[in-house]
Amino acid sequence: MFKKVLFSVLVVSSSLFAHSAIMSCFDNGDGSVTCEGGFSDGSSASGVNFYVEQGGKKVISGKMSEDSEFTFKKPSGEYSAVFDAGEGHQVYVKGSDITE
Amino acid sequence: MKKLVLSSAVVAVLGVSSAMAHFQMVYTPNTALEKGQTIEMKHVFTHPFANEHTMDMAGVEEFYSITEKNGKVDLKDTLKSITWKGKHNSGKAYESKYKARNMGDHVLVMVPTPYYEKNEDIYIQQITKTVINVAGTPNGWDAELGLKAEIVPLTKPYSIWEGGSFTGIVKSNGKPVPFAEIEVEYINNTPDMKNNAMGPNKYEAPQDSFVTMGIKANKDGEFTFALPKAGFWGFCALGVGSDKEYKGKELSQDAVIWVEAKEMK
């Protein structure tokens, strides 16, 4: 039993490790921004942590939707959108790089 | 003797037509986009290596995109008529803008109206696929669309280093076409997107067989081709489509796919 559990955990972590995390964001033009998360092997990012950081603080946080998306109200000033798929798998996108 | 001369004349004529293959381009300068954006496309019927004659496109029957999120979206209304300038003449062509916003693969398919080729007294219709990707996550580049004539990629068409290779399967209505005849051409210049014109040729072919390279698929309809230079490579499986006649004349319904190799720098 223990062996089985250990094995599946290893498989999961190794599969996460082999692929890189990817995020792309766009401005919806209505004051909101949508970020899409994913992995280089095409696997879903549904349920993966996502947050918006401003001045080193998390101002918005949540999880990627079933469609691997997160939509949020665009904060004023500088910010970064962060796709947080675990250690070594964080993707930062600067607010100033997010366009329509 | 007379017969021999005649047959070599026929060979010479055939040689000329096969040395420069027609290629339907659905061209955008970069198929691997860093992030979502609106891209410009040019739809030109030409001979991309030699760039010696630009054909007048007869029109477009279908143009659409396929993405995981939005499925099939009709893009025919986005086409605008333009005149495309080649080295020796100009031809009727189209341009379009496409909002490639969602992350992942966007498969663009164009079905042109059959073009009458006077020299051969046949119609040619090249069902053309160009695949672009946003941000690097894959979701649909390998989709089999069940087209009348189709090259289904086994290599991501937008993610190949210079010197890498491309593998595809030639299909007709979802079935592999064994030993399909495939022509391969390189866009031997950098198309000028602003002025709707081809640029100057980059490379010279040592002989006509290098202008349009002829290869064949294997018994399972598969083929592999190495891409020696960065840029765009077109693959055209000849006459593999199920439609064989148009307006009472022979129709060559071909499958085209465009593949981009990127320079390592």
Write down the pLDDT at residue B25.
98
Write down the pLDDT at residue A87.
83
Write down the pLDDT at residue A19.
79
* Dist. CA B100–CA B132, nearest whole Å: 8
Tell me: the pLDDT tens digits for A52-72? 999 999 999 999 999 999 999
* Dist. CA B53–CA B245, nearest whole Å: 25
Spatial strand order in the sheet of B37-46 = B23-27, B37-46, B90-100, B80-85
In this complex, do A38 and B134 lie within 8 Å of one another by their Cβ atoms? no
pTM above 0.90?
no
Residue A42 contacts B, CB cutoff 8 Å: yes
Write down the pLDDT at residue B19.
53
- Mean pLDDT in residue range A40-51: 93
Tell me: the pLDDT tens digits for B128-155? 999 999 999 999 999 999 999 999 999 9
Write down the pLDDT at residue B46.
97
Write down the pLDDT at residue A86.
87
User: What residues in B contact A41, CB-CB < 8 Å?
Assistant: 138
In this complex, do B136 and A67 lie within 8 Å of one another by their Cβ atoms? no
User: What residues in A contact B139, CB-CB < 8 Å?
Assistant: 38, 42
> Token digits for B159?
């993610």
Percent of chain A with pLDDT over 70: 82
* Dist. CA B128–CA B24, nearest whole Å: 7
User: What residues in B contact A22, CB-CB < 8 Å?
Assistant: 103, 135-137
**Does position A1 have pLDDT exceeding 60, yes or no?**
no
pLDDT tier, A14 (very low <50, low <70, confident <90, very high otherwise) = very low
CB nearest to B103's CB, from A20, A36, A41: A36
Task: Output B21 or A80, whichever has higher pLDDT.
Answer: A80
In this complex, do B139 and A26 lie within 8 Å of one another by their Cβ atoms? no
User: What residues in A contact B103, CB-CB < 8 Å?
Assistant: 22-24, 36, 38
Closest chain A residue to the Cα of B135, Cα to Cα: A24
Residue A22 contacts B, CB cutoff 8 Å: yes
Domains of chain A: 2-97 (2.60.40)
> Token digits for B251?
């129709």
Residue A26 contacts B, CB cutoff 8 Å: yes
Alpha-carbon B80 to chain mean position: 19
- Mean pLDDT in residue range B58-72: 97
Average pLDDT of chain B to the nearest whole number = 93
**Does position B236 have pLDDT exceeding 60, yes or no?**
yes
Write down the pLDDT at residue A88.
80
3-state secondary structure chain A: CHHHHHHHHHHHHHHHHHCCEEEEEEECCCCEEEEEEEECCCCCCCCCEEEEEECCEEEEEEECCCCCEEEEECCCCCCEEEEECCCCCEEEEEHHHCCC
CB nearest to A24's CB, from B69, B135, B139: B135
In this complex, do B35 and A25 lie within 8 Å of one another by their Cβ atoms? yes
* Dist. CA A64–CA A83, nearest whole Å: 9
User: What residues in A contact B137, CB-CB < 8 Å?
Assistant: 22, 38-40, 42
Amino acid at B128: T
* Dist. CA B205–CA B202, nearest whole Å: 10
Tell me: the pLDDT tens digits for B180-235? 999 999 999 999 999 999 999 999 999 999 999 999 999 999 999 999 999 999 99
Write down the pLDDT at residue A17.
52
In this complex, do B102 and A36 lie within 8 Å of one another by their Cβ atoms? yes
CB nearest to B138's CB, from A25, A36, A42: A42
B46 phi, psi to nearest 5 deg: -150, -175
pLDDT tier, B3 (very low <50, low <70, confident <90, very high otherwise) = very low
pLDDT tier, A18 (very low <50, low <70, confident <90, very high otherwise) = low
Average pLDDT of chain A to the nearest whole number = 85
Segments making up each domain of chain B, as ranges: 21-262
Q: Which of B35, B103, B131, B141 to mutate to test the interface with A (most CBs of A within 10 A)?
A: B103
**Does position A13 have pLDDT exceeding 80, yes or no?**
no
> Token digits for B65?
């995109």
**Does position A2 have pLDDT exceeding 80, yes or no?**
no
ipTM above 0.90, yes or no: no
A4 phi, psi to nearest 5 deg: -60, -45
> Token digits for B20?
């420069």
DSSP lists the bridge partners of residue B231 as B261
* Dist. CA B41–CA B25, nearest whole Å: 9
* Dist. CA B158–CA B212, nearest whole Å: 22
